[in-house]
Amino acid sequence: MDGGVAAAPEGPATVEPAPEATASPRDLRDLVAQLRRIVGDEWVYTHAHQLRTYESDGLLQYTSIPAAAVLPDSAEEVAGVVAACHRAGVPFVARGAGSGLSGGALPISEGVLIVATRLNRILEVDLDNHRICVEPGVTNASVSAAVGPGFFYPPDPSSQIVCSIGGNVAENSGGAHCFKYGFTTNYVTGLELVLSDGELVQLGGKAPDPAGYDLLGAFVGSEGTLGVATKVWLRIVPAPETTKTLVAFFDSTREAGQAVSDIVGAGIVPGAIEMMDEKAIEAAEAMAKAGWVGADGLTRKAALLVELDGAEHECETRFREVVGVCEACGSDDVRVARDDAERERFWKARKAAFPAMGRISPNYFVQDGVIPRTKLPDVLDRIDALAEEYGLIVANVFHAGDGNLHPLVCYDGTVDGEADRAEELSGKILDACLEAGGSITGEHGVGVDKKKHMPKMFAEADLDCFQRLRCAFDPEGLANPGKVMPTPRLCGEVPGPYRQHPLEAAGLAERF
């Protein structure tokens, strides 16, 4: 993954690493020997120095070293690895590029990490049917590159040059263009999967299978807890005739938030509508050098990046309307990209915002909450008030059209207690999103990071319902356990007289 996420030497929750498979309390030597036979000796890592590469994803505050990491080269090898784990009763975690921001690919110590790096082939490009079939390790950006210039793949996470399609499917990833075009789930028409007992199955394909329950929809966004994707069929769309992009600067995020509501309220559907506040602009400008400063050389309080795409005539007309709305909401500086090079500079500034944050703060949490769009001004004010109360900087850069906030809570991990304060503040921001009628995550997933917040959003009965679905795919709970659900729950009925499971006795799991 890209190295933009600031390191967190003193995170609030760190899982102790286990040095190596042979030294862990459970003897996994038999399993490791089987894994070596399946994928080849050189593609099984068990030494601490090899495993450290995989100790976390983009959420660096959590670390854990797995017993082994395997890099299979085919779906059959993935199936063999998962079947071996199943026979041994050992949990496994799938990993794409490790750019996730919620700890979804955090390894399980005494578990196996299945890394998709070598599963990086584009299997079929079928422009006539608007389809592409890829292995899960293919990067998001490679999909558009493979079908361009006539077509493109719309879901475009800012991490798109590194993140994998397998990870996008597992997280139901979004991006700047999802407001108009929809999320990953709107583009997956088929999946080949390895279930937790090693069985290879297919859901949908080039044409999604509309009969029966939508199992494809259930898998997308399941964060690796229902199995491992080994092949993905995606819908692609024709490239728009024209694209027009502007950036408008405002004296407050409230004004910019109002412009978002008014643009959408006017019936305009921009391809993308992204907002950055003063701190985010300042950090991005330091890295991207897009000239995003006012005439006085100072950073403006808010920037709105708006892109319209589609038929030339309609775009021109709608674009003028957008400029009008921005000016009516208080913008005195609207800059229209004059050519592709300038458009790319605008986007570079927007996409630099996360990685650039490392320039103004040694550590930060990336939050990911959703609110109804009309609540943007109020919730942004609330975030400012919370930042002041906690004495911490919070920068905001987000997909404004979707109401998908990404507050970046800055802190210094070397200052005693600051990481904990930052984590508490992050939780309060999520509470504010829920109070506004929103959600605890828009696109980064629940992972380990937000599972404690799940009961704020779902009743016990809802969580049980999720668990029933999970049990149908993975009765033993071997696929990415400890993620998404707030308390580990045990699947399956035990035949014969009731015997308490050791995890249950230890108070670590509850019987479902």
Ligand X SMILES: Cc1cc2nc3c(=O)[nH]c(=O)nc-3n(C[C@H](O)[C@H](O)[C@H](O)COP(=O)(O)OP(=O)(O)OC[C@H]3O[C@@H](n4cnc5c(N)ncnc54)[C@H](O)[C@@H]3O)c2cc1C
For ligand X, which residue of 34, 38, 43, 58 counts as binding (CB under 6 A)? Answer: 58
Told to check if 301 binds ligand X by CB under 6 A, we report no
In this complex, which beta carbon is closest to ligand X, that of residue 274 or of residue 282?
Answer: 274
Contact pattern for ligand X over residues 18 through 57, marking x by CB under 6 A: ---------------------------------------x
**Residues in Cβ contact with 2 at an 8 Å cutoff, skipping those fewer than 6 apart:** 99, 159, 161, 162, 355
Told to check if 96 binds ligand X by CB under 6 A, we report yes
Q: Determine the interface stretch with ligand X among 40-48, 151-159, 264-272, 369-377 (rule: CB under 6 A).
A: 151-159
Return the closest-CA partner of residue 120 out of 146, 148, 81, 101. 146
Q: Which pair of structure tokens corresponds to residue 423?
A: 């984590």
Told to check if 100 binds ligand X by CB under 6 A, we report yes
For ligand X, which residue of 157, 270, 401, 477 counts as binding (CB under 6 A)? Answer: 157
In this complex, which beta carbon is closest to ligand X, that of residue 113 or of residue 315?
Answer: 113
389 CB-contact burial (10 Å; exposed 0-12 / middle 13-18 / buried 19+): exposed
Q: Determine the interface stretch with ligand X among 161-169, 237-245, 285-293, 464-472 (rule: CB under 6 A).
A: 161-169
In this complex, which beta carbon is closest to ligand X, that of residue 46 or of residue 230?
Answer: 230
For ligand X, which residue of 355, 369, 403, 477 counts as binding (CB under 6 A)? Answer: 355
45 by DSSP, 3-state: which? strand
CB 43 within 8 A of CB 35: no
Q: How far is the CB of 223 from ligand X (least distance, A)?
A: 4
Told to check if 444 binds ligand X by CB under 6 A, we report yes
For ligand X, which residue of 6, 38, 68, 170 counts as binding (CB under 6 A)? Answer: 170
Cα 493 from chain centre:
34
In this complex, which beta carbon is closest to ligand X, that of residue 57 or of residue 255?
Answer: 57
**Residues in Cβ contact with 497 at an 8 Å cutoff, skipping those fewer than 6 apart:** none
Q: Determine the interface stretch with ligand X among 156-164, 334-342, 457-465, 487-495 (rule: CB under 6 A).
A: 156-164
Told to check if 482 binds ligand X by CB under 6 A, we report no
For residue 333, list its beta bridge partners.
Answer: 249
HSE-up of 329 (CA within 13 Å, CB side)?
27
Told to check if 101 binds ligand X by CB under 6 A, we report yes
**Residues in Cβ contact with 98 at an 8 Å cutoff, skipping those fewer than 6 apart:** 1, 54, 56, 57, 58, 105
Contact pattern for ligand X over residues 215 through 254, marking x by CB under 6 A: --------xx---xx-------------------------
In this complex, which beta carbon is closest to ligand X, that of residue 230 or of residue 258?
Answer: 230
- Residue whose beta carbon is closest to ligand X: 167
Name the one residue in this structure whose structure tokens are 């490392």: 358
In this complex, which beta carbon is closest to ligand X, that of residue 220 or of residue 325?
Answer: 220
What are the φ and ψ backbone dihedral angles of 93, each rounded to 5 degrees?
-130, 130
What are the φ and ψ backbone dihedral angles of 252, each rounded to 5 degrees?
-160, 155
DSSP class of residue 336?
Answer: E
The type of residue at 49 is H
**What is the helix, strand, coil percentage profile of the chain, to 5?**
35, 20, 45
Q: How far is the CB of 202 from ligand X (least distance, A)?
A: 14
Told to check if 480 binds ligand X by CB under 6 A, we report yes
In this complex, which beta carbon is closest to ligand X, that of residue 94 or of residue 433?
Answer: 94
Return the closest-CA partner of residue 112 out of 84, 91, 139. 91
For ligand X, which residue of 11, 80, 91, 98 counts as binding (CB under 6 A)? Answer: 98
Which H helix or E strand runs over 285?
A: helix 278-288
Q: How far is the CB of 246 from ligand X (least distance, A)?
A: 20
CB 448 within 8 A of CB 106: yes
Q: Determine the interface stretch with ligand X among 69-77, 170-178, 321-329, 493-501 (rule: CB under 6 A).
A: 170-178
Cα–Cα dist 158/367, whole Å? 15
The beta-strand segments (E) located in 87-173 are 92-95, 112-115, 122-126, 131-134, 151-152
In this complex, which beta carbon is closest to ligand X, that of residue 254 or of residue 279?
Answer: 279
HSE-up of 147 (CA within 13 Å, CB side)?
27
Told to check if 168 binds ligand X by CB under 6 A, we report yes
Told to check if 369 binds ligand X by CB under 6 A, we report no
Told to check if 171 binds ligand X by CB under 6 A, we report yes
Told to check if 443 binds ligand X by CB under 6 A, we report yes
Q: Which pair of structure tokens corresponds to residue 91?
A: 């949990």
For ligand X, which residue of 35, 75, 82, 93 counts as binding (CB under 6 A)? Answer: 93
214 CB-contact burial (10 Å; exposed 0-12 / middle 13-18 / buried 19+): middle
Q: Under rule CB under 6 A, how many of the chain's residues touch ligand X? A: 41
For ligand X, which residue of 5, 283, 405, 509 counts as binding (CB under 6 A)? Answer: 5
For residue 307, list its beta bridge partners.
Answer: 245, 272
Cα–Cα dist 86/100, whole Å? 25
Q: Which residues lie near ligand X (CB under 6 A)? A: 1-2, 4-5, 57-58, 93-101, 104-105, 116, 136, 157-159, 163-164, 166-168, 170-171, 173-175, 223-224, 228-229, 354-355, 443-444, 480
